[in-house]
Amino acid sequence: MTSITALSRKLDNFGTLSDADHVTLDKAAQGGHQIGPKQDIIREGDKPNTVHLILEGFACRYKLLPDGSRQIVAYLIPGDFCDLHVFIMREMDHSIASLSPCTVVDIPRATILGLLEHPTIAQALRWATLVDEAILREWLVSMGRRPAEQRLAHLMCELLVRLRAVGLAQDGYELPVTQAELADTLGLSGVHVNRSLQSLRITGMIQLRGSSLLIPDVDALMEFSGFSPAYLHLLQQPLR
C-alpha cells in the first residue's frame, strides 16, 4: 500500500481508495505544526476557516458546563479531523484541545474542496463522519449502562482498535491521558477512576506504567467490557 499518513491509512479501512487517492490524501496532509499538551485547538463559538487534522498525538472534543465541570465527548487520534463539518455548520458547538503534545495540520478550505471532487475520497470522508457518530452512540451505551471498570476497559479496547487501524498499536499503546481527564471522559470522579484502574491492574486485565498501556489478553478485556468492534465499521476486524 502507498499509505503514508495516518489519514490515508485510516480511510483505507473504507476499502475503495485507489493508489492515486492515497497519493492525493498524503499530499493534502503534508506539513503541520507542533502544539503542547492541554492547549485549545478550537473553541466553542469559533468559525474556523481551515480544517484541522491530527497527525500525531491525542486530542479531545469537550464541552464545559455552567458549574465549571467538563465532559469530554470524543478522542481524536492521528488521522482524525477536528472540524470537517465547518463548511456546513455556522460555528463550533464544542471545543477541541490537545491531550498530549500534537502535530496538527491546517488544511485550507480549497484543498478540502479539491479532495471532495474525488468521489471515492468524498465517500470515504462521509464514512469517517458516520463512524464518529457510531462511536458517540457506543460511548452513550457505556455511560448509560456500563459500570466504571467496564467503561474504562471499553475505552481502552476502542482506542486499541482505532490505533491499530492506523498502524499505531499492537498489543498496547501510549495513553497520554491523566486520570482526571479519564474522569471527565467517562463521567466519573478522579478518585473513582484511580480505584477502578487499580482494580483492572490487580486482576491482570491491563498493565499500566505511567502512560504505557499493555493489554496482555485482548480477547479477555473485550469480553469483560462488552466490546464488539462492529460499530467501528472497519474492513477487517484487526487481529481478532
Partner DNA sequence: CGTACTATTGATAGATATCAACGCTGGTGG
Partner DNA sequence: CCACCAGCGTTGATATCTATCAATAGTACG
Chain residues binding DNA by CB under 7 A are: 38, 147-149, 178-180, 187-192, 194-195, 197-198
Selected range binding a second copy among 19-27, 89-97, 191-199, 210-218, rule: CB under 8 A: 89-97
Rounded to whole angstroms, how far apart are CA atoms 61 and 172? 23
Q: Residue type at 79?
A: G
The Cα–Cα gap between 167 and 172 comes to 12
Contact between 231 and a second copy per CB under 8 A: yes
Residue in 116, 233, 214 with CA at minimum distance from that of residue 173: 214
C-beta closer to a second copy: residue 38 or 85: 85
Cβ nearer to DNA, comparing 154 with 164? 154
Any idea what DSSP says for residue 57? S
Cβ closer to a second copy: 90 or 209? Answer: 90
Write the burial class of residue 179 (CB in 10 Å: 0-12 exposed, 13-18 middle, 19+ buried): middle
Q: Which stretch binds a second copy (CB under 8 A): 50-58, 59-67, 105-113, 197-205?
A: 59-67
Cα–Cα distance, 12 to 6 (Å, whole number): 10
Q: Does 162 bind a second copy (CB under 8 A)?
A: no
Least distance from a second copy to the Cβ atom of residue 134, Å: 5
Is 144 near a second copy (CB under 8 A)? yes
